[in-house]
Chain A
Amino acid sequence: MTQLPDGRYVDDAPYDPQISIQQLERQDLDAPNWLLVWRKFRQHKLGLISGIFLLLSYLMLPFAGFFAPYGANERHEEHLFSPPQLVRFFHEGEFLGPYIYPMTAEANLETFQWEFKPDYSNPSRLRFFCKGTEYKLAGLIPSKRHLFCAAEGQTIFLWGSDRLGRDVFSRILYGAQLSLTVGLIGITVSFVLGIGFGSLAGYFGGTIDWVVNRVIEILRSLPELPLWLALSAAVPSNWSPVAVFFIISIILGILDWPGLARSVRAKFLSLREEEFVRAAEMMGASSGRVIQKHLLPNFMSHLIASATLSIPAMILGETALSFLGLGLRAPAVSWGVMLNDAQNLASVDIYPWIAIPMLPIVVVVLAFNFLGDGLRDSLDPYQS
């Protein structure tokens, strides 16, 4: 530190005024786009956690049978409306490993309810990788192994059992298979329709644009749910659950595309005037090639972000339809079908755990929202 004659202090270290201009902003200027997006996305903690959670949930789907202690429609006649059982580790100050207290059911002849009393003197350890009911791993490989189950002759209902004595926890895992994939199939349908019609309207303009615009306007001005109801009421009741499931997700997708088509069209209108599009056209590229190779990649990432934000609406839609009895029906297991039991306020009052399926719904929908927000913020890595 030296003091100048006018009294200012100046750092002795050599100073090069050019350095801030010459310095690279990042070490790897040639880093691909996805890497930049990933770096920015990583800073969005909530979005990152949500993304990991959703990834794990979807990876779990084929193995739901392994993680669930029971089959989806396996009944325990002795344990109707059994309350949730807590997994404990310490019995009277002594470490036992994961165990539960066995439940004994007693009929109360005054209230005509089953009363469940845990037997505190007799802890029973959980078994791991045990044999139970048969299921199919990923729908292909038959297997009997379960991650955990109760000791012989005991039951384990982590989140209680429902009115037919079926394990709520297992059913939530099985229900995820349908409830989570509804959104994916629906968004695929909506994507194909939305990009198709949106790019036709935006690229060619004129009459096609006018027609597509009117269709979008009409579809958007109609309330969704009554339309869903009407369309799903049209599904014949003798169809198999799988067919009904596909039709429901397609219906959800068919009514979702106008929003997507509108944003695709707006993007096309602005991008169509760019030089690179004109150059491609001059070189004789067909309009299909221009759309696919030059226009779509420009905003594919935005489309993915907006798709992430519209999946939750579909999950909620399936839940609402099944809840009202117009979506998936009984032998099929989805979160909405499970909540159908919770329609009755009196039974929710006595057996609050039958409303548990709403927790995964809320969590998954929130996660999709956070993930979508995170993606949207980080998709333009060149913007600070």
Chain B
Amino acid sequence: MQILRYAVYRFGTMLLTLLVVSVLVFVIINLPPGDYLSNQIAELQATGQTAGVAKIQFLRQEFALDEPLWKQYLIWVGFYPGPHGFSGLIQGNLGWSFYNSQPVAEIVGSKLWATVALNVAVVLFIYAIAVPLGVVAAARSRTWIDYTSSFIGYLGLATPNFLLALILYYYGRKYIGLPIGGLMDPDFEGQPLSWDKIKSVLLHLIVPTFVIGTAGVASMMQRLRANMLDELGKPYVETAVAKGMAPSRMLAKYPLRVAFNPFVADIGNLLPTLISGSVIISVIMSLPTIGPDLLTALKTQDQFLAGFVLMFVALLTLIGTMISDVLLIMLDPRIRYEGREA
């Protein structure tokens, strides 16, 4: 019951944070002077095509771009009636992309799922690699396993991940025949779900997952190793060994369980970097996620598209953080957030 109450409370704070974030995003998007439409008007007038100007003027009114900024914000979120009544983000109207002349919802529709899928894959990858490696590195500390893994970890932190992407694509293609770019073979585009299609998607996911996850694996592994080393020196471990418990069972049952708590809490720190990574990697690897859209939208001042993508990315992060907080409470009953202030 307490967990449920905490979850509800956490959900409430998340909504509040989201509100602040929306203001922040709106301000940042509107920082550059002018907007997409006024740039267009200037361009048309410069080239003497006055016919198009009327249409763009109409668009300006249609999307309330002639209103003062604070009103534009309220209309965008949906707190204030625009030219067509209440229709903003909370009413489910994501806005219009001027650059693509398409509703934002149509552009990003399927890409949202690809974005979520990619990030979930990366999180799973990080846990699958970092946990065993970290435990082994701690259990066999100061041996070659430990040194190799920490060296790879350092290298993973130091290489910019977009370069890693280029290198892996190059060598993956040359020696293993891994596919380059995209999330599936072009043949499967728009096909119904089939076994081959899933296989193709998985094959295409290998390099992006690896690239985005490396830095996360490195930092998580190092932290787990440090936590485990702290725990391994404690008397209860000695007792377990003295009882004659099998080492692997002992490791998994006692120290790992304790060392794992900070880990779950870490998802909150991990997610922002992951999503950052996935945005830039998607641009380079031309993955059908919202990363490339964000870049073009920012470059062309396509404000509704850019605003929505930023909001979505922030939402993803906030939801991830919330889940990790709730999980943490379930995993460790000693943590009670209500009493912390006292």
Contacts and interface: CB of A to CB of B under 8 A. Distances in A.
Contacts of A349: 170
A324 B159 CA distance: 16
A326 B271 CA distance: 23
B154 interface: yes
A121 to B, nearest CB: 35
Nearest to B28: A230
A66 to B, nearest CB: 28
B314 A223 contact: yes
B166 A342 contact: yes
B170 A225 contact: no
A324 B170 contact: no
Range, interface on chain B: 35 or more
A358 interface: yes
A324 B163 CA distance: 12
A207 interface: no
A223 B279 contact: yes
B160 A223 contact: no
Contacts of A325: 299
A319 B162 CA distance: 10
Interface residues of A, number: 38
B201 interface: no
Given A218-B21, A348-B166, A369-B157, A326 B298 contact: yes
A74 interface: no
B107 interface: no
B318 interface: yes
Contacts of B109: none
A221 B283 contact: no
A226 interface: yes
A365 interface: yes
B317 A221 contact: yes
Interface stretch (B29-37, B88-96, B256-264): B29-37
A224 B273 contact: yes
Nearest to A234: B31
Contact of B295 (A224, A324, A365): A324
B154 A366 contact: yes
A234 B279 CA distance: 18
B31 A231 contact: yes
Contact of B28 (A217, A227, A343, A348): A227
Given A223-B272, A223-B313, A225-B279, A358 B163 contact: yes
A220 B318 CA distance: 10
Interface string A223-255: 111110111011010000000000000000000
B317 A225 contact: no
Interface in B134-183: 154-155, 157-160, 162-163, 166, 169-170, 180
A226 B276 contact: yes
Contacts of A355: 163, 166
B160 A320 contact: yes
A203 interface: no
Contacts of A320: 160, 162, 280
Interface string B285-327: 0000000001100110100001001100110011001000000
Interface string A311-331: 010001001100111100000
A182 interface: no
A370 B162 CA distance: 22
A227 to B, nearest CB: 7
A361 interface: yes
Contacts of B321: 221
A358 B162 CA distance: 10
Given A236-B32, A324-B280, A345 B166 contact: yes
Contact of B17 (A221, A324, A339, A345): A221
Interface of A: 217-218, 220-227, 229-231, 233-234, 236, 312, 316, 319-320, 323-326, 339, 342-343, 345, 348-349, 355, 358, 361-362, 365-366, 369-370
26 contacts: A221-B321, A222-B272, A222-B314, A222-B317, A224-B273, A225-B280, A226-B276, A226-B310, A229-B298, A230-B25, A230-B28, A230-B298, A320-B162, A323-B160, A324-B280, A342-B166, A343-B166, A345-B169, A345-B180, A348-B166, A349-B170, A361-B163, A362-B155, A366-B155, A369-B154, A369-B157
Interface of B: 17, 20-21, 24-25, 28-29, 31-33, 154-155, 157-160, 162-163, 166, 169-170, 180, 268-269, 271-273, 275-277, 279-280, 283-284, 294-295, 298-299, 301, 306, 309-310, 313-314, 317-318, 321
Given A224-B272, A225-B279, A236-B33, 11 more contacts: A217-B17, A220-B272, A221-B17, A223-B271, A224-B276, A225-B280, A233-B299, A234-B28, A320-B280, A326-B298, A345-B166
